[in-house]
């Protein structure tokens, strides 16, 4: 059962308010909406979260949908909305739904006070049971080795372009994605958008990534040189393997799917998670490559760990700091183990 109202089924007032909120304007003199800078993926998530609440209202008291958005809510309605969620919905997920609802309401009804909804959300989040994050389980060098092994296996099985099968081409493609993410931990949206000649460009004998601000979450341009070894593997992908994927010649997206079109972000997620699970016993999704890079840098070069912020394209070091703390505790634990071992041996 679909438990949310699609955007086309929203009340007209809600759709009008949202259109105003996300309006980008045609030039410098047009008014921009408060949500104009949101990425498309963020907009979709917010629309889904708000559509879920609207669906709840349609089952709880459909007459509320005729009211203005700010006149539908009070703490009792939110309590009913939380109780309406399935028992499998944990506290963190509930808090995310309420955060999405509050953000949409702030954009659509900016003159209203939504601090009471934030307070409820924080109380739910504070009581939620959190799974401990294990950023140190896998680091970049391990992931890079997984990517290299996949590519080498595809190369061994196919000596020339003519006898390269689709499966071997897909294996090489996935290995190249994994190796690239290990060295350049891009966000999935940016990884999906990569295009040959636009983002992946020649820099002498090597390749580099030139990513404009419009294709990044933080609206900051990114520029990454690609190592000589990986540049050679890109040459092989473009010269031998990519052309064996059906329909790859019809577009310039870097990652071609076997369905004759560019890979979608969900396909990239599934391919990387499946390959890493098969190789390591745990599925490493694209975002965890960013955790792995921060942890690897923190443990190998703690004096310059703030550089990880720029590698990850983050605005502040605060997001990276948790990886530094975990990595340093791991280093300290190893030092203690060595000291104890030396004492016992003596």
Interval 144-165: pLDDT, tens:
999 999 999 999 988 666 678 9
Considering the domain boundaries, does residue 29 fall inside one?
A: yes
Considering the domain boundaries, does residue 309 fall inside one?
A: no
Indicate the number of domains in the chain.
Answer: 2
Domain boundary among 259, 281, 303: 281
Considering the domain boundaries, does residue 335 fall inside one?
A: no
Considering the domain boundaries, does residue 149 fall inside one?
A: yes
Rounded to whole angstroms, the Cα distance separating 194 from 211 reads 8
Q: Domain range holding 120?
A: 7-127
pLDDT tens digits, one per residue of 45-89: 899 999 999 999 999 999 999 999 999 999 999 999 999 998 888
User: For the chain, what is the total number of helices (H) and then of strands (E)?
Assistant: 13, 3
Same structural domain, 17 and 103: yes
Same structural domain, 85 and 153: no
Same structural domain, 20 and 42: yes
Considering the domain boundaries, does residue 72 fall inside one?
A: yes
Same structural domain, 272 and 156: yes
Same structural domain, 186 and 67: no
pLDDT tens digits, one per residue of 162-205: 678 999 999 999 999 999 998 888 888 889 999 999 999 998 88
Same structural domain, 237 and 104: no
Considering the domain boundaries, does residue 316 fall inside one?
A: no
pLDDT of residue 341: 45
DSSP, collapsed to helix, strand or coil, labels residue 209 as strand
Domain boundary among 261, 281, 301: 281
Instruction: Give the mean pLDDT of 202-230.
Output: 84
pLDDT of residue 318: 47
H/E stretch holding 222: strand 222-225
Name the E strands within 112-192: none
pLDDT of residue 320: 46
Q: Which two tokens stand for residue 219?
A: 């609206």
Same structural domain, 242 and 165: yes
Better pLDDT: 15 or 126: 15
127, 91 Cβ separation under 8 angstroms: yes
Rounded to whole angstroms, the Cα distance separating 175 from 119 reads 45
Rounded to whole angstroms, the Cα distance separating 72 from 61 reads 10
Domain boundary among 102, 127, 152: 127
Give percent above pLDDT 90 in the chain: 51
pLDDT tens digits, one per residue of 280-301: 888 999 888 887 776 665 555 4
Same structural domain, 275 and 145: yes
Rounded to whole angstroms, the Cα distance separating 35 from 52 reads 19
Same structural domain, 69 and 173: no
Instruction: Give the mean pLDDT of 260-267.
Output: 92
Instruction: Give the mean pLDDT of 107-129.
Output: 91
Considering the domain boundaries, does residue 331 fall inside one?
A: no
Considering the domain boundaries, does residue 290 fall inside one?
A: no
Same structural domain, 110 and 214: no
Contacts of 228 (CB under 8 A, 6+ apart): 205, 206
Same structural domain, 26 and 90: yes
pLDDT of residue 296: 61
CATH number at residue 192: 1.10.443.10
Same structural domain, 158 and 187: yes
């Amino acid at each position: 059962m679909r438990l949310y109202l699609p955007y086309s089924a929203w009340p007209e007032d809600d759709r009008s308010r949202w259109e105003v909120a996300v309006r980008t304007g045609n030039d410098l003199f047009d008014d921009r909406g408060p949500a104009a800078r949101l990425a498309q993926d963020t907009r979709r998530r917010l629309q889904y979260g708000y559509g879920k609440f609207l669906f709840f209202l349609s089952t709880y008291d459909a007459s509320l949908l005729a009211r203005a958005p700010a006149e539908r809510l009070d703490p009792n309605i939110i309590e009913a909305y939380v109780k309406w969620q399935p028992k499998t919905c944990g506290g963190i997920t509930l808090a995310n739904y309420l955060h999405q609802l509050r953000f949409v309401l702030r954009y659509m009804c900016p003159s209203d006070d939504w601090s009471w909804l934030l307070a409820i959300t924080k109380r739910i989040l504070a009581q939620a049971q959190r799974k401990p994050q294990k950023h140190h389980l896998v680091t970049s060098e391990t992931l890079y080795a997984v990517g290299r092994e996949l590519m080498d296996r595809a190369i061994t099985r196919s000596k020339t372009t003519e006898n390269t099968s689709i499966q071997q081409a897909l294996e090489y493609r996935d290995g190249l994605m994994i190796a690239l993410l290990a060295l350049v931990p891009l966000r999935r949206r940016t990884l999906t958008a990569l295009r040959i000649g636009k983002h992946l460009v020649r820099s002498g004998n090597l390749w580099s990534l030139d990513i404009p601000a419009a294709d990044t979450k933080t609206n900051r341009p990114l520029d990454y040189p690609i190592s000589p070894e990986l540049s050679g593997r890109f040459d092989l992908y473009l010269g031998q393997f990519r052309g064996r994927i059906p329909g790859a010649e019809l577009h310039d997206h870097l990652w071609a799917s076997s369905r004759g079109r560019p890979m979608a972000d969900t396909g990239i997620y599934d391919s990387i998670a499946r390959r890493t699970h098969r190789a390591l016993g745990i599925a490493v999704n694209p975002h965890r490559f960013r955790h792995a890079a921060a942890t690897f840098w923190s443990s190998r070069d703690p004096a310059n760990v703030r550089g990880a912020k720029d590698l990850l394209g983050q605005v502040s070091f605060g997001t990276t700091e948790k990886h530094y703390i975990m990595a340093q505790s791991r280093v300290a634990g190893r030092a203690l183990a060595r000291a104890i071992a030396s004492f016992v041996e003596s």
